[in-house]
Amino acid sequence: MDETQIASLLKSSDIFPLPQSLKLSYGTAGFRGDASLLDSTVYRVGILSSLRSLKLRSQTIGLMITASHNRVSDNGIKVADPSGGMLSQEWEPFADQIANASSPQELVALIKEFIEREEISIGGGEEGEVWLGRDTRPSGESLLRAAEIGVSSVSGCVAVDKGVLTTPQLHWMVRAKNKGLNATEKDYFESLSTSFKCLIDLIPSSGNKISNKLVLDGANGVGGEKMEELLKGYLSNLDVEVRNTGRDGGVLNESVGADFVQKEKVVPLGFGVNDVGVRCASFDGDADRLVYFYVSSNGDKIELLDGDKILSLFALFIKEQLNTLEGKLSRLGVVQTAYANGASTDYLKGLGLDVVFAKTGVKHLHEKAAEFDVGIYFEANGHGTILFSESFVSLLVGKQKGMSEGSDEFNAVSRLVAVSNLINQAVGDAISGLLLVEVILQHMGWSVQKWNELYKDLPSRQVKVEVPDRTLVVTTSEETEALKPLGIQDAINGEIKKYKRGRAFIRPSGTEDVVRVYAEASTQEDADSLGDSVAQLVKSFLGSG
């Protein structure tokens, strides 16, 4: 790194001093916090994104400014790798270091050491490119400027402002760009609408007809806005009423959105007694989470269809298509976390599916799902997708060419190819997920109530226990059992045995000194009791915080 580059970094970093006492950690959601404190963080992640692009031979990197389901006064930033997936975990420690560097001099020293270790060439004719997106938060525009300055402070690197987008749109566009495909927002909409129409055309004519009507809670965020664009310009025959668009003065994520609906299990603002029995869905603030629900008879409670139910619907449909094909062509796998409701896991295993568990966090589920020819993953919060291996899609396309059009096998192959184009394989995407749910329900001839009957969730309880040192808890990689403190798992197992269909586990928080307890059993009373008794075990083994 030459003197000119060092001077450039020192000069630009002076504009964005690190706020006192700010301590950030790069997690699954990137960096997130009060928007007024994030200028320096976003600027520095701009630098990291440029270095990442240079390291990966000028491939395009994505940088999304969003705080997803957080309150409107928060914001955040996360990086999309060339695959459209999340930033490589190997770079997360460097992200933490530069975000927390206390002075411009320390920042530049860290960058210098890092580029030497990673053998990144700056200023030798190499070029880097970073695509920037932001959601609808008022703080997004000024943070975008900070990101642009960070990106362009690295010699040879350019920032390209892609405007207001959902997080999944930016991930999709980055993935498409690096695969050499057309990668505009228009291309995203066209890919979704073309594959959706293809799947609609392949619905058996003999099936039950169900209501097309869907009411969508847009969380007063970018997702509702983009859904309206899709409906207006590309899918005018889809009957979706979008509420909570933000135009009527509603506040982003305030008593609305997927996170609120999933956690509170009550109707979002703008929904009520007039919606009883109607199929409804909620996006979160940046539209990477999706849950469905319907309003029960009293008008304020809901029946929730969360990520586990969406995963089960997708798995059932994909399995049906694969079973139609001659010969065993693929390995279909389903990936869940320990937080998945036990009833969903039992249902999926009952279908004969390969169910595996991953550590909490979508980056871990994505990694596991990629090991299959077709891998489906979802967290209960509604974040998930389907991954198709390139070799399997190539196999399908090849088979399609030699088949007689209209045969059952041809239709099954055509559906699988269309699903691989409809679903956003880069990251969980509420818009593409919603379109796939809608077409599968039409295909099955199922109402939302019929879908909800696939299985009945076991009652569950989650408890947060403050402890002096959460690092004393060490779990297996799937987080289903505790390895340390010694003896605690045997004690937990002893409690579990007391309850019908009992299951419980503990895991340390990634961000605060608490241990999280999850418990489920055949009744809510038993789940509560099991959760409380396991929480007491945590306190007796670790002490109270």
CA distance 281 to 306: 10
68 is in an annotated binding site: yes
Determine how many CB atoms are found less than 10 A away from the CB of residue 442. 18
153 is in an annotated binding site: no
323 is in an annotated binding site: no
Query: Model-level pTM greater than 0.85?
Result: yes
Summary mean pLDDT of the chain = 94
- Residues ≥6 apart with Cβ < 8 Å to 336: 308, 311, 344, 345, 348, 355, 356, 357, 358, 365, 377, 378
510 is in an annotated binding site: yes
345 is in an annotated binding site: no
Nearest to 282 by CA among 298, 296, 297, 267: 267
511 is in an annotated binding site: yes
211 is in an annotated binding site: no
201 is in an annotated binding site: no
Q: Which of 68, 432, 460, 529 is catalytic?
A: 68
Q: What is the pLDDT along the chain (545 residues), one digit of tens a residue?
A: 889 999 999 999 999 999 988 888 898 789 999 999 999 999 999 999 999 999 999 999 999 999 999 999 999 999 999 999 999 999 999 999 999 999 999 999 999 999 999 999 997 788 999 999 999 999 999 999 999 999 999 999 999 999 999 999 999 999 999 999 999 999 999 999 999 999 999 999 877 788 889 999 999 999 999 999 999 999 987 899 999 999 888 999 999 999 999 989 999 999 999 999 999 999 999 999 999 999 987 777 899 999 999 999 999 999 999 999 877 678 999 999 999 999 999 999 999 999 999 998 898 999 999 999 999 999 999 999 999 999 999 999 998 888 889 899 999 999 999 999 999 999 999 999 999 999 999 999 999 999 999 999 999 999 999 999 999 999 999 999 999 999 999 999 999 999 999 999 999 987 678 999 999 999 999 999 999 999 999 999 998 76
- Which CATH fold would you assign to the domain 3-164? Alpha-D-Glucose-1,6-Bisphosphate; Chain A, domain 3 (3.40.120)
Q: Provide DSSP, 431-484.
A: HHHHHHHHHHHHHHT--HHHHHTT--PPPEEEEEEE-S-GGG-EE-TTSSSEEE
Instruction: Return the residue matching tokens 């568990």.
Output: 357
175 is in an annotated binding site: no
Nearest to 157 by CA among 63, 60, 34: 60
Could you tell me where the beta strands, DSSP code E, fall in 244-373?
280-283, 290-295, 302-305, 332-336, 354-357
pLDDT of residue 458: 96
pLDDT, tens only, 325-336: 877 678 999 999
pLDDT, tens only, 430-463: 999 999 999 999 999 999 999 999 999 999 999 9
The answer to whether the beta carbons of residues 123 and 2 sit under 8 Å apart is yes
Pairing of strands 474-475, 482-484: antiparallel
Please name the CATH architecture into which domain 460-542 falls. Answer: 2-Layer Sandwich (3.30)
* 68 a catalytic residue: yes
What are residue 240's DSSP bridge partners? 214
274 is in an annotated binding site: no
Domain spans in the chain, listed from the N-terminal domain onward: 3-164, 179-457, 460-542
288 is in an annotated binding site: yes
